[in-house]
Structure 1
Amino acid sequence: MPHETADGMSRRDALGLIGTGVAAAAFPTISSAAEDRPMTALTPAFAGQHQPKPLGFDPAKLKGLSEKLIRSHWENNYTGSVKTLNLIEGRLAAAMQDKDFPPIAYGGLKREELHRLGSVVLHEHYFDNLGGDGKTGGDIGKALSQVYGSTETWEAEFRRTAMSLAGGSGWCVLTYNAATGELRNQWAWDHMHGAVAGIPLLVLDMYEHSYHMDYGSAAAKYLDAFLANVKWEVVDRRFQQARRFSI
C-alpha cells in the first residue's frame, strides 16, 4: 500500500510532482515543449527488419571530415551493425521456439542484441547530428548556459569526456535524463553503457574507425572537426522532445 500525504496524494505522486518542479526550475527561460507526437506503431519482437537510415547531408561538404571517411563509416560500421542486429533477432526468434535452448547461449545472444542495438541507435544519432555549422542556439543553447554557466564551459567538459576515450572505444553523449531532469555529458563504452533514463541529444563516435582515416591518432583534431559540423537544430529538437518524458 503506497503511503499517502495529508491531502490523499500518494508519496510516489508527491515525489513525482517535486521532481517535475525541480526539472522545470532548472530551465526557467526555455519555451514550452511542442504538442505530443502521435503514437508510433510497435514493431513485433525479433522482426529482424531494420534498414540502414540514409545520410541526411552531403558528406562531401563537411568541414574537416572527408567524404571517404564518412562513407566508409556509414557503409561498413553502421550498416554492418544493422545487418548483424537483424541476424541476432532472427536467432533469438528461433531460440524462442526451442525449449531446450541453453540459457548460457541465450544470454550470449541477448548481450549481442544489446550491443548491436546500441550501435545502430548511436550511429543514427551521430550521423543525424552532422551537417550543420557548429553554432549552438535554441533552447538547448540556453539550457547548457544555465546548467554549466556558459556553452564554452559545457564544451570544455564535453571535450574532456570525449578525450578520456581517445585511443580506446566508446561514445561521448550529451544526454537529458528523464528521471532526474538533468543534462549530462557521459561516455558509453561498448555501445551500451549509458546511464539509465539518459536520452541522447548530441552523439559523438570516439571509436578509432570514426577518425583514423583522416587524423590517425590525432583524436583532438577530429573532435574539433566534429564540433564544427554539429547540426544544433537537430540537437535542439531532440532536447525539446526529451523534456516531455519523465520517469
Structure 2
Amino acid sequence: MAFTLEVVGKGFRLKSADNKREIDVSPAQAKAWQEVLDRRAREQGLKNSEELLANVKIAVPEKGDSQFKIGKQYALSDADTMLMIGGNVQFSNPDLIHAYHEGSLNPDFVLVPTMQPEGAPAAIDAIKAPASTPEGRKQAVETYLGKHSGSVEERTNAAVALMESRADFGSPELQAPRLKEIMDVLVEPYEGEDERRSIVDALTQHSWSSEPADGNAPDDKGPNEKNLDDKGMDKLIAEHARTAYGLR
C-alpha cells in the first residue's frame, strides 16, 4: 500500500498505511521533492506546494500500487477515484506508476483529493459553537453520520472528516474531548465487539494530519501549539476505546 507524504519542519517523511514504518528523506531529496510539488501545484492551478498540501494528500506508491488501489486505500468512491485519476495529469496510464525506492529524487507523487462528505461543515460549526451543549453536539454528529450509514466503513470514513477538522473545534484544549464525543456517537449503534474494534482499527490506521490548532506553521513549536499529531491521535483513540468501550 502507498506511503503518505508528511511535512516535517522544512522537510518530508513517508508514513506507511499501517503507521508502522516511517522514512525520513534526505535534505537533497527534500529540495528536489519541493520543486516537483511546486510544479504539481502549478499544474493544478495553485500557487505553490504549500497551497497544494492544504488541499490534497500525497501518496507515494509501493510495489504493486496503481491509482485505482490508492483510491481504495484512501476510501474514495469509484467516482472520486476517477476524478483523482483525471487530476493526476502527469500519468499517461493510471497503472503505470513506479514504486518508491530509497534516495529517489523524483518519485511518482499521486495527488489524492481530501473528500469531505456532505453535511460535515454544518456539523463542525455545531461542534465548535461557543454556546454548544453536549446534547446539541451529539445531535449534530448523529444527524451528519445518519447521512452516511450505508456500512460501518462508510460511517467511519464520514466520521474521519469531522475528526480531521479538529483545528476548528475552538481552543486547543477542546480537541480531545470533542474527538471523544465524535467517537462515542460513531460507535454507539454497534454493540458487537468485532464491529467496534473494526472502527477503532480503522481510526488508528488513518494517517492523521497535524495542522496546528492555533494556525502556526507546522515547524513553529510556539507555546500555543497544542494540537494532536498522528501519534497523539492514535494514543487518544486507543485509550478512549479501552476506557469507554473495554477494547484492548
Instruction: Assess same fold via TM > 0.5.
Output: no
User: When the two structures are superposed, what TM-score results if normalisation uses the length of structure 1?
Assistant: 0.25
Which structure is higher in RCO with an 8 Å CA cutoff and minimum separation 6?
A: 1
TM-score, normalised by the number of residues in structure 2: 0.25
